A and B are shown apart, each in its own frame.
Chain A
């Protein structure tokens, strides 16, 4: 990856931002902590924090390098430094806050991603949420391969109280998606969510298959699919970059959902993602229940990442 060239954007902005010497977040709150010079030890502490959050070596190193340049040897507390960093990282991720809108009827939403990332569960949560917002939603069980994948989505469709389209085991997913889209059009749905089978981004046959499933929808509307959402597991480390890259190349991903953020994973990898792909983040998955879905808020996400405040109150 050509980190250097691509990152100029937010990274130089960040370096400028770090000049700000005070921050509303820190004043008062952290004065209990004794101030000391921003020395190598403190910088190491912050780098370790970033590394442990899966920010990645290169990005962590650069972030800390920028801190060092701007504030080295000033009297600060670790909490202050963290808070400054939090503000600046938040401003990087802020532009990624983006909820979905549904102008076309039906709007076709594809859920794609590697195995076990949370596509089916998130499909269920989204169906419930959008239905509650007054939309007419339909879901398609396009995973015709994995054992009991259809049954799994069928339970979610019941929970969300939306209709489910399904085919026989091992049947052609593309044909199913095409006919479901036709049904959705004639039934005047607002939203059609397609839950696809999990696949590793490196498996070219499976990626070709996915391309084909996506392509058939274009026979009915050249705007379809309106959204192709890549579902990412927050626990995954640096491989996430590869996943985004290859899925985007194959099916033109235009948004992300990050799941399993109710655990201790911080998904710091999205700082790298923000840099390299600039894809909006629509939602965060924060549990296995139907309501465990949050819209993405950069500030909360970063506070969780820097261990300032948890994303989910337990």
Chain B
């Protein structure tokens, strides 16, 4: 089963004689196999469709480099797209006192166990946090008893208000948390079907009365096509802020991760990997992507391809820079690399003789968000425009601003910055610094 996709893609694509760039036909054939692989991994059908469209768009027209095969290239594109869609791991923020965290999900998904795990995790991570837990599950036999035992095992307080009304219990627990200065209140809820209107409404009221800062959707990673409908309805009814996947310790392919992430748009925060309280991990998109694609060896492959790409790319870039060339495509590559390597500061430090410029750039306080925005602006330009920015008149700028969701002045700012960089490149060439520069860049691009 393992690496089946990788082999299939290789056999489809590597027959191609034309090794220039991937054509629509090449990609279509490959994507049929990707579609099957995703369905077999339990990714929900509508999500499969979106994903294939996205990956296809990325793949068509991609140059296939000499040192890797077209099959490897597509695997890498699919893998990267998957990692991209799955999103980064995001920590919970405990900025409020008390920070209220609410669990929600289907029956038996692992909410109560995760509540215990989270308490243990927070206790370990922040040694001085006061944590209160409460169960709002008045329906399932011994559900509240279960959370009480877990709270005892972790060593945190269990509120245990005596009532058969979940909303009332929640309100009482919250006022206790406020009065007694708890930092965190974890509210465990009863499992419920997304089509159970009465219970979904109850959840809405709990949310309204307690205004939780985090509403975590706890889902079984083994769930199949249902992931889509279930997550969609939960998302519609309550303001989810994050996803927790459970039973990741099994041998499931984990397609639910992609389905749920796509439908809710919420970051996947934790992976629950066992029955015991310490068996909890932070989400790792690479690991889940590998599982979904069913390729044990894909990590190595992707790393190899990435290395090759970086090397070929950086050599090409260095060559262009030696000639004093620096268009907006080059600028985009620089920006993307910056994201990889922790911003402008990091890069500039590695370039010889650039510390002055670094200070200047630090002054303008470029952060990641800005870089993302800048990349979006460049991507809204046509290839022609990227190669000769002089083409950019007012109406083109307006179009680009609209396309990337920024103001025209942002486009201007980007162009100004590009011009500054270009000037520096030209000056460098004149100063004969190209050798130095090349060495600097090599170090720059080889480091990950």
Assess whether A238 is in contact with B106, with CB atoms less than 8 Å apart: no
Residues of B within 8 A of A201 (CB): 250-251
Determine which residue in A237, A242, A262 has the highest number of CB atoms from chain B within 10 A of its CB, and name it.
Answer: A237
Assess whether B140 is in contact with A288, with CB atoms less than 8 Å apart: yes
B224's partner among A148, A155, A156, A237 (CB-CB below 8 A) is: A237
Q: How far is the CB of A33 from chain B (nearest CB, A)?
A: 23
Known A-B contacts A148-B146, A236-B224; A118 and B108 likewise in contact (beta carbons under 8 Å): yes
How many residues on A have C-beta within 8 angstroms of the other chain's C-beta atoms? 45
Q: How far is the CB of A119 from chain B (nearest CB, A)?
A: 10
B362 CB-CB contact with A under 8 Å: no
A115 CB-CB contact with B under 8 Å: yes
B194's partner among A48, A236, A263 (CB-CB below 8 A) is: A263
Residues of A within 8 A of B225 (CB): 51-54, 237
Contact flags B13-53 to A (C-beta < 8 A → 1, else 0):
00000000000000000000000100111101100000000
A146 CB-CB contact with B under 8 Å: yes
Residues of A within 8 A of B229 (CB): 264
B72 CB-CB contact with A under 8 Å: no
Assess whether A117 is in contact with B223, with CB atoms less than 8 Å apart: no
Assess whether A52 is in contact with B45, with CB atoms less than 8 Å apart: yes
A269 CB-CB contact with B under 8 Å: yes
Q: How far is the CB of A64 from chain B (nearest CB, A)?
A: 13
Assess whether A151 is in contact with B40, with CB atoms less than 8 Å apart: no
Query: Please, how many angstroms separate the alpha-carbon atoms of A236 and B221 in the complex?
Result: 9
Query: Please, how many angstroms separate the alpha-carbon atoms of A134 and B225 in the complex?
Result: 40
Known A-B contacts A57-B39, A57-B40, A239-B42; A148 and B223 likewise in contact (beta carbons under 8 Å): no
Chain B: which residue is nearest A124 at the CB level? Answer: B141
Determine which residue in B41, B110, B142, B224 has the highest number of CB atoms from chain A within 10 A of its CB, and name it.
Answer: B224
A115's partner among B36, B106, B275 (CB-CB below 8 A) is: B275
Assess whether B108 is in contact with A233, with CB atoms less than 8 Å apart: yes
A167 CB-CB contact with B under 8 Å: no
Chain B: which residue is nearest A116 at the CB level? Answer: B108
Residues of A within 8 A of B45 (CB): 48, 51-52
Residues of A within 8 A of B148 (CB): 148
A265 CB-CB contact with B under 8 Å: yes
Chain A: which residue is nearest B259 at the CB level? Answer: A237
In A257-289, the 8 Å CB interface with B consists of 260, 262-265, 269, 288
B370 CB-CB contact with A under 8 Å: no
Assess whether A54 is in contact with B224, with CB atoms less than 8 Å apart: yes
Assess whether A238 is in contact with B224, with CB atoms less than 8 Å apart: yes
Residues of B within 8 A of A155 (CB): 141-142
B98 CB-CB contact with A under 8 Å: no
B139 CB-CB contact with A under 8 Å: yes
Assess whether B141 is in contact with A51, with CB atoms less than 8 Å apart: no
Query: Please, how many angstroms separate the alpha-carbon atoms of A196 and B142 in the complex?
Result: 17
Q: How far is the CB of A91 from chain B (nearest CB, A)?
A: 24
Contact flags B231-256 to A (C-beta < 8 A → 1, else 0):
00000000000000001011111011
Query: Please, how many angstroms separate the alpha-carbon atoms of A237 and B257 in the complex?
Result: 13
In B255-294, the 8 Å CB interface with A consists of 255-256, 275
Chain B: which residue is nearest A287 at the CB level? Answer: B193
Assess whether B42 is in contact with A237, with CB atoms less than 8 Å apart: yes
A31 CB-CB contact with B under 8 Å: no
A304 CB-CB contact with B under 8 Å: no
Determine which residue in B45, B109, B143, B250 has the highest number of CB atoms from chain A within 10 A of its CB, and name it.
Answer: B250
Q: How far is the CB of B11 from chain A (nearest CB, A)?
A: 19
Residues of A within 8 A of B109 (CB): 116
Query: Please, how many angstroms separate the alpha-carbon atoms of A308 and B252 in the complex?
Result: 30
Q: How far is the CB of A246 from chain B (nearest CB, A)?
A: 9
Q: How far is the CB of A273 from chain B (nearest CB, A)?
A: 13
B107 CB-CB contact with A under 8 Å: yes
Query: Please, how many angstroms separate the alpha-carbon atoms of A149 and B275 in the complex?
Result: 13
Known A-B contacts A53-B225, A233-B108, A264-B195; A239 and B250 likewise in contact (beta carbons under 8 Å): yes
Determine which residue in B140, B220, B226, B250 has the highest number of CB atoms from chain A within 10 A of its CB, and name it.
Answer: B226
Assess whether B250 is in contact with A265, with CB atoms less than 8 Å apart: no
Query: Please, how many angstroms separate the alpha-carbon atoms of A262 and B191 in the complex?
Result: 13
Known A-B contacts A239-B250, A260-B107, A288-B107; A152 and B140 likewise in contact (beta carbons under 8 Å): yes
B contact set with A: CB distance below 8 Å: 36, 39-42, 44-45, 106-110, 116, 139-143, 145-146, 148-150, 153, 193-195, 220, 222-226, 229-230, 247, 249-253, 255-256, 275
The 10 closest A-B pairs by CB, nearest first: A237-B224, A116-B108, A155-B141, A237-B42, A151-B142, A148-B146, A147-B149, A152-B142, A148-B145, A54-B224
CB<8 Å pairs between A and B, sample of 15: A57-B39, A116-B109, A148-B143, A152-B141, A152-B143, A152-B146, A202-B249, A235-B230, A236-B222, A236-B224, A237-B223, A263-B230, A265-B226, A288-B107, A314-B195
Known A114-B247, A147-B149, A237-B224; 10 more pairs at CB < 8 Å: A54-B225, A56-B40, A116-B109, A154-B141, A235-B226, A238-B253, A239-B252, A264-B230, A265-B226, A288-B140
